[in-house]
Structure 1
Amino acid sequence: MAATPSAIETDTGLRYRAENENLRSRINTLRSVIAGLFVVILVLWHGWEDAKKDARLFLPPNLRSGGMIHRDDPRPEHIYGFARYIFQLLNYWPRNGEEDYGLVLFKAQNYLTPACQDELRSDLEARAKRGELTDRKRAIHDVPGHTYEESSVEVKGNSVWIARIDFRIEEHVRGMPVKTVDIRYPIRVVAYDVSPEVNPFGLALDCFASPPERIEGSETSRPALPPIFKLGS
Structure 2
Amino acid sequence: MSRFRNKVDAQQAHIFSLRLAVVILALLCAGLWYGWRSAPTDLTVHVPPDLRSGSTRKWWDIPSENVYAFALYIFGQLNRWPSDGEQDYRRAIYGLQSYLTPACKAFLDGDYEYRKAAGELRQRVRGVYEILGRGYSEDPELRVKQLDRDSWLVKLDLNADEYYAAEPVKRVVVRYPLRVVRFDLDPERNKWGLALDCYQGTPQKISLPGGEP
Query: TM > 0.5 between the two?
Result: yes
| 1:202 matched to 2:193 | yes
Residue 109 of structure 2, aligned match among 95, 115, 121: 121
Offset at residue 217 of structure 1 (A): 3.8
2:208 maps to 1:220:
no
Residue from 53, 58, 64 that aligns with 1:70: 58
Secondary structure of the corresponding residue to residue 150 of structure 1? coil
> For residue 3 of structure 2, what is the aligned residue in structure 1?
none
> AA paired with 1:68?
T
Greater Cα radius of gyration, structure 1 or 2: 1
SS at match of 1:124: helix
TM-score (norm 1): 0.72
Counterpart contact for 1:191–1:203, Cα < 8 Å: yes
**Structure 2 residues without counterparts, runs of 5 or longer:** 1-28
Percent sequence identity over aligned pairs: 40
What's the offset of the Cα at 1:99? 0.3
In the alignment, is the contact (CA less than 8 A) between 1:136 and 1:172 conserved in 2?
A: yes
Which residue among 90, 101, 117 is the counterpart of 2:89? 101
Task: Give the distance between the partners of 1:180 and 1:153, measured in 2 at CA.
Answer: 25
Matched length: 179
Partner of 2:164: 173
Task: Report the counterpart of residue 139 of structure 1 in structure 2.
Answer: 127
Q: By how many angstroms is 1:48 displaced?
A: 5.6
SS at match of 1:168: strand
Which amino acid is the alignment partner of residue 212 of structure 2?
T
Q: Which runs of 5+ in 1 are unaligned?
A: 1-41, 222-233
Cα deviation, 1:55-105, whole Å, max 9, x if unaligned, reads 010112111211013323211111111101100010000010010000000
TM-score after normalising by structure 2: 0.78
Q: Report the CA distance between 1:50 and its aligned residue.
A: 4.3
Counterpart check, 1:53 vs 2:41: yes
Residue 79 of structure 1 is matched in structure 2 by 67
Letter in 2 for 1:110: S
